Amino acid sequence: MTRLATPPVPTRRALLVGAPVLAGSLALGTSPASAKDPVLHPGDRGSAVKTMQKDLAARGYWCGSADGSFGATTTQAVYALQKAAGLAKDGVFGAKSRAALKKGTRPKPRITSGTAFEVDKKKQLLYCISGGTLKYILNTSTASGKKYYSGGRWKTATTPSGDFKMYSFPSSGWQTAPLGRLYRPGYYDRGWAIHGATSIPPYPASHGCSRLSVAATDMLWKGGWMKKGRRVLVH
């Protein structure tokens, strides 16, 4: 029997200088799947992140400027997409999130006319509607449903449902309230408001208000969204 010669294994140097690679081999540190559709995580940077940001913004998932940096504002947008699509809310832009975005996944608000805010407690999303059209989809965190102690008694964190109008804007910056700090709040029902916060997890965690990121809150103020008489539908 004739013994077949064993083909030589390419050295690291041969791979680096461009020598022919045997069939079935891959260049170091790469794979066709990851090169085509990379899984993006908070903290990542680069052109793939910038493309993702542009695609998110085109679908209404506000993430600030497309700067190629997967920071906190972009993470909030990915949370919003994942909530709208019914996916695990991990903030990682993987295959399922990419498919949902490519498919054009967007929630369907109840408000179909006028300019208003709509807080969807089930999905934990806040919709910004302009002229009856859904413009922005923002991650929000409403009441946790947990007990807390305030004013000499125990209370339950709740976000009441209803159709309200904004009536008070007591601070142009951070406001210290009995239950914590609120950034540029817009009150619409007694002590309930839409406001910025430093923590907006992808689940209900507030005492009752609808939390948004500081960046999103600034965007809404700059765009004229926060004004007296603005409709706020909570359901």
Do residues 129 and 60 make contact, with C-beta atoms less than 8 angstroms apart?
no
What pLDDT score does 7 carry? 41
pLDDT at 26: 28
pTM value is 0.83
Looking at the chain, the domain(s) classified CATH 1.10.101.10 span: 38-102
Correct CATH for 116-234 of 2.40.110.10, 3.40.1160.10, 2.40.440.10, 3.10.129.10: 2.40.440.10
- Give the tens place of pLDDT for each residue, 61-116: 999 999 999 999 999 999 999 999 999 999 999 999 999 999 999 999 999 999 99
List the catalytic residue out of 128, 195, 207, 235.
195
Work out the average pLDDT over 142-146: 96
Determine contact, residues 217/196, Cβ cutoff 8 Å: yes
Residue 137 in this model has a pLDDT that exceeds 50: yes
Is 41 among the catalytic positions? no
Exactly one of 63, 128, 207, 209 is catalytic; name it.
209
Give, in order, the Cα–Cα distances in Å from 124 to each of 93, 104, 138, 214: 19, 19, 9, 17
**Active site (annotated) includes residue 209:** yes
67 close to 190: Cβ distance less than 8 angstroms: no
Residues of CATH 2.40.440.10 domain(s) within the chain?
116-234
The architecture (CATH level 2) of 38-102 comes to Orthogonal Bundle (1.10)
